[in-house]
């Protein structure tokens, strides 16, 4: 039985990866942060399982990282913990650098200093944000990086320090350069989930309008469970290497919104341009989507499109397992059910959706 350590197990990817590794017979250990409230919604269904264990560790605290690595002595580490929101990285650049850049170094050093360098394989959650102000379209493993946010700059350090430890110490450490991947467990402030939740709330009379930023931004959106499978495949490969993980298909934020609203029975037409653009309900003439410059970023990445040829050829991974239309449907169906349950009083949610609508939370 192999032992895996997942940092960031409470996150979207961490929860899906834990499920996958448990299904493969792994002993799975995850790290969580101490806080005054426990946020374990995504992993609560795993907590009673015999082969699932939780440990406190914070990526900003070397000693806690060292302790958990030394105690678990894993065969594989999946370093997923990060301040993962690009817009937040403009407000908290130092914290983002500490977690997303130096945090990676802390993992690598913990493995080395606990004598695990020859035995432990490490997966680093790298990102398409490294391509940032893109220098070519679509992007592959040879495309030059041009990070365009404090988040991307921090992740660039993570990418290069992993490569350095691979070459300097012969460690089996790899980066997955993952393009955006979403799911029904996606955080509610990322654009896809913000849209599917708002569409569900508007369709059920719980919200009037959705405010978004740049509607023309383009992304290569995949489904998170397909992507965590590829993380695992990267660590099972014969040699340590870096891989682009993407679907090979690109859509705008506008297209995502249009499809999400269609799934809940609302057909939108678009009027106006730039900050004046509006999404109007064709049936009622009501404006349901508006642009708010509050959601513009100081520098925005607008043209991400991945080329997954290498992952398909060397890892046997299928980038088209879940289509764009299926992804949007999975997310809207889930939010429709969630909102209906809340309306029926079956579950209580925080005010986050309300705060999002008012623009208090970005
Ligand atoms: P997520 O849902 O935001 O989860 C991030 C995880 O990191 C959470 O478990 C969070 O814990 C934990 N974390 C944050 N700061 C920490 C700290 N100081 N110490 C310990 N843990 C900390 O992110 P995700 O979407 O699952 O993404 C997983 C990883 O892939 C991240 O590194 C992200 O940057 C990267 N990535 C994501 C995408 C994507 O499209 N999803 C694409 C490329 C790369 P709390 O629950 O306590 O906040
Ligand atoms: O933005 C635009 C926004 O926040 C996507 C993280 O997982 O993927 C994610 O980062 C696009 C951007 O994701 C709103 O300007 C418009 O162009 O959903 P997002 P992201 O920034 O691409 C990468 C690969 C990661 O590595 C990150 O960890 O959508 N956009 N209007 C908006 N974005 C948000 N959040 N909110 C809006 O209202």
Q: What is the 3-state secondary structure (H, E, C) of the chain?
A: CCEEEEECCCCHHHHHHHHHHHHCCCEEEEEECCCCCCCCHHHHHHCCCCCEEEEECCCCCHHHHHHHHHHHCCCEEEECCCCCCHHHHHHCHHHHHHHHHHHHHHHHHHHHHCCCCCCCEEEEEEEHHHCCCCCCCCECCCCCCCCCCHHHHHHHHHHHHHHHHHHHHCCCEEEEEECCEECCCCCCCCHHHHHHHHHHHHHCCCCCCEEECCCCCEECCEEHHHHHHHHHHHHHCCCCCCEEECCCCCEEHHHHHHHHHHHCCCCEEEECCHHHCEEEECCCCCEEEEECHHHCCCCCCCECCECCHHHHHHHCCCCCCCCHHHHHHHHHHHHHHHHHHHHCCCCCCCCHHHHHHHCCCC
Counting ligand 1 atoms within 8 A of each CB, the residue from 80, 243, 246 with the most, and so the one to mutate, is: 80
- Among the bound ligands, name the one nearest to the CA of residue 101: 1
Asked which of 37-41, 156-160, 253-257 is least confident by mean pLDDT, the reply is 37-41
**Per-residue model confidence (pLDDT) at position 39:** 80
> pLDDT by residue (tens digit) across 187-231?
999 999 999 999 999 999 999 999 999 999 999 999 999 999 999
Give the side-chain half-sphere CA count within 13 A for 55: 20
**Per-residue model confidence (pLDDT) at position 192:** 99
Is 80 close to ligand 2, i.e. is its CB under 6 Å away? no
Which is nearest to 124 in space by CA: 75, 77, 61, 67?
77
Is 15 close to ligand 1, i.e. is its CB under 6 Å away? no
The pLDDT of 66-72, averaged and rounded, is: 98
Nearest residue (by CA) to ligand 2, atom 29, is 191
> pLDDT by residue (tens digit) across 250-309?
999 999 999 999 999 999 999 999 999 999 999 999 999 999 999 999 999 999 999 999
Is 30 close to ligand 1, i.e. is its CB under 6 Å away? no
Per DSSP, what are the bridge partners of residue 29?
5, 53
Nearest residue (by CA) to ligand 2, atom 24, is 180
Nearest residue (by CA) to ligand 2, atom 28, is 84
Nearest residue (by CA) to ligand 1, atom 3, is 84
Nearest residue (by CA) to ligand 1, atom 1, is 11
Is 356 close to ligand 2, i.e. is its CB under 6 Å away? no
The pLDDT of 348-357, averaged and rounded, is: 56
**Per-residue model confidence (pLDDT) at position 352:** 57
**How far does the centroid of ligand 1 lie from the alpha carbon of residue 183, in Å?**
14
- Among the bound ligands, name the one nearest to the CA of residue 244: 1
Is 8 close to ligand 1, i.e. is its CB under 6 Å away? yes
Q: Which residues are catalytic?
A: 127, 129, 151
Is 39 close to ligand 1, i.e. is its CB under 6 Å away? yes
Nearest residue (by CA) to ligand 1, atom 45, is 10
Per DSSP, what are the bridge partners of residue 303?
218
Share of the chain above pLDDT 90, in %: 93
- pLDDT over 60 (residue 351): no
User: Which numbered atom of ligand 2 lies nearest the CA of 155?
Assistant: 26
**Per-residue model confidence (pLDDT) at position 350:** 47
The pLDDT of 224-246, averaged and rounded, is: 98
Per-residue CA distances from 66 to 27, 73, 175, 235 (Å): 19, 10, 21, 21
Q: Are 309 and 203 in contact (CB under 8 A)?
A: no
**How far does the centroid of ligand 2 lie from the alpha carbon of residue 302, in Å?**
10
The pLDDT of 42-55, averaged and rounded, is: 97
User: Which numbered atom of ligand 1 lies nearest the CA of 98?
Assistant: 18
Is 13 close to ligand 1, i.e. is its CB under 6 Å away? yes
**Per-residue model confidence (pLDDT) at position 347:** 62
- pLDDT over 70 (residue 106): yes
User: Which numbered atom of ligand 1 lies nearest the CA of 39?
Assistant: 46
């Amino acid at each position: 039985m192999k032992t895996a350590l997942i940092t960031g197990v409470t996150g979207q990817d961490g929860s899906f990866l834990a499920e996958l590794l448990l299904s493969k017979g792994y002993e799975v250990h995850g790290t969580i942060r101490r806080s005054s409230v426990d946020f374990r919604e995504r992993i609560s269904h795993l907590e009673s399982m015999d082969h699932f264990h939780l440990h406190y560790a914070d990526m900003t605290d070397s000693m806690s990282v060292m302790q958990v690595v030394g105690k678990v002595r894993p065969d594989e580490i999946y370093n997923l913990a990060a301040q993962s929101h690009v817009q937040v990285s403009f407000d908290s650049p130092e914290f983002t650098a500490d977690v997303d850049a130096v945090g990676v170094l802390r993992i690598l050093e913990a493995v080395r200093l606990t004598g695990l360098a020859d035995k432990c394989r490490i997966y680093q959650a790298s990102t398409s944000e490294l391509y940032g102000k893109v220098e070519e379209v679509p992007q592959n493993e040879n495309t030059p990086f041009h990070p365009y946010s404090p988040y991307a700059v921090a992740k660039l350090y993570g990418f290069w320090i992993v490569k350095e430890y691979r070459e300097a110490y012969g460690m089996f450490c790899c980066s997955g350069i993952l393009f955006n991947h979403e799911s029904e467990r996606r955080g509610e402030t990322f654009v896809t989930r913000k849209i599917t939740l708002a569409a569900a709330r508007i369709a059920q009379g719980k919200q009037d309008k959705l405010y978004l930023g740049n509607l023309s931004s383009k992304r290569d959106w995949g489904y998170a469970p397909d992507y965590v499978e590829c993380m695992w495949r990267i660590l099972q490969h014969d040699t340590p290497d870096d891989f682009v993980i993407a679907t090979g298909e690109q859509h705008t934020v506008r297209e995502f919104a249009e499809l999400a609203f269609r799934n809940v029975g609302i057909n939108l037409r678009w009027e106006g341009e730039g900050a004046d653009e509006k999404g109007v309900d064709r049936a009622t003439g009501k404006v349901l989507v508006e642009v708010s410059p509050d959601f513009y970023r100081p520098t925005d990445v607008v043209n991400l499109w991945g080329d997954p040829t290498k992952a398909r050829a060397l890892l046997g991974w299928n980038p088209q397992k879940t289509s764009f239309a299926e992804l949007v449907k999975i997310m809207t169906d889930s939010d429709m059910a969630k909102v209906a349950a809340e309306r029926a009083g079956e579950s209580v949610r925080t005010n986050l959706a309300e705060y999002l609508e008012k623009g208090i939370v970005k």
